[in-house]
């Protein structure tokens, strides 16, 4: 990744406009273009949804500053936007960012932030507007990683599980990243299940990690999901993963996303149609 280099190549819609491109713009596109031309960058806020938690990122810093676009996760949208703007102002004034740079003066209580290069596999699902403006994917994106109250980052020893869930680790390729609150953003199409992507699901190691087929699904009366192959499951075989992990690896299960609580579904083969019935034991 290039960090803070005004000599970089930029092929964006301002530097290399496409003839007649304005005729294809909607109101949002025009706002993005106007803000970048006037202020240097635009802030995109993705709200929380059923499929994924929200995030905030910049569009235009590569054009204006020669800096990667910045992305912030796990904060209220306005706080994250303010943080990105502060860092952008620091870069404009001559400060540098990079993987070994720590800033202690952009968050309250001097809580530190640092930066990690986002793997390009996240660009399309999470930073589409930046790619639209930049026109040369993958556009460089840096995740702004904020520390816990003790100044510890995601990769440090001693942080608690709650903090580990506050932010993804975008430097890990998307297909290798542990499932979490943002996994649903990688799933194509709308999220069909009534539960969020990070809902716990019970399955087997073969189904979760080795591609074994799902032939039997139980939606327990308490809301739990079980994805099985119809065989007996030993404690050694059992696995607990997020619902998004199952859906991402076995898209055919969206056919039973509306399975009511206390019901089960089954099929003969991996490509077969689902049959349903209410559980007689109450589930």
CA dist., res. 230 & res. 190, Å (int)? 28
pLDDT at 283: 58
pLDDT at 97: 93
Mean pLDDT throughout 246-274?
92
| pLDDT, the chain, mean | 91
Q: What pLDDT, in 10s, does the model give residues 33-43?
A: 999 999 999 99
pLDDT at 173: 92
Find tokens 């075989």 and name the residue.
Answer: 237
Q: What pLDDT, in 10s, does the model give residues 88-124?
A: 999 999 999 999 899 999 998 889 999 999 999 998 8
The percent of residues above 70 in pLDDT, for the chain, comes to: 99
* pTM, full prediction: 0.77
CA dist., res. 53 & res. 195, Å (int)? 13
Pairing state of beta strands 42-46 and 200-204? unpaired
Cis-peptide into 93, omega within 30 deg = no
Helix or strand or coil: residue 206?
A: helix
CA dist., res. 161 & res. 154, Å (int)? 10
**In terms of Cα–Cα distance, which of 50, 53, 72 is closest to 61?**
72
pLDDT at 122: 92
């Amino acid at each position: 990744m290039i960090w803070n280099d005004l000599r970089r190549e930029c092929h964006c819609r301002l530097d290399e406009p496409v003839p007649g491109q304005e005729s294809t713009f909607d109101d949002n596109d025009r706002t993005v273009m106007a803000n970048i031309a006037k202020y240097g960058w635009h802030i995109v806020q993705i709200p929380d949804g059923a499929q994924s938690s929200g995030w905030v990122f910049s569009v235009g810093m590569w054009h204006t500053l020669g800096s990667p676009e910045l992305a912030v996760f796990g904060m209220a949208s306005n706080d994250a936007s303010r943080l990105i703007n502060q860092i952008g102002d620091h870069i404009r004034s001559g400060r540098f960012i990079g993987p070994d740079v720590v800033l202690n003066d952009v968050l309250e209580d001097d809580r530190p932030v640092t930066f990690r290069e986002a793997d390009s596999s996240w660009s399309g699902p999470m930073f589409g507007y930046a790619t639209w403006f930049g026109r040369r994917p993958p556009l460089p994106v840096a995740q702004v990683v904020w520390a816990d109250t003790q100044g510890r980052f995601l990769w440090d020893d001693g942080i608690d599980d709650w903090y580990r869930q506050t932010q993804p680790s975008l430097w890990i390729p998307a297909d290798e990243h542990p499932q979490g609150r943002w996994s649903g953003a990688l799933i194509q199409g709308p999220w069909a299940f009534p539960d969020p992507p990070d809902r716990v699901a019970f399955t087997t190691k073969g189904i979760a990690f080795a591609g074994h087929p799902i032939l039997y699904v139980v939606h327990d009366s308490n809301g739990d999901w079980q994805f099985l192959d119809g065989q007996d499951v030993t404690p050694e075989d059992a696995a607990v993963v997020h619902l998004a992990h199952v859906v991402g690896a076995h898209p055919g299960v969206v056919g039973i996303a509306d399975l009511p609580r206390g019901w089960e579904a089954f099929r003969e083969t991996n490509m077969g149609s689902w049959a349903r019935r209410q559980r007689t034991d109450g589930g």
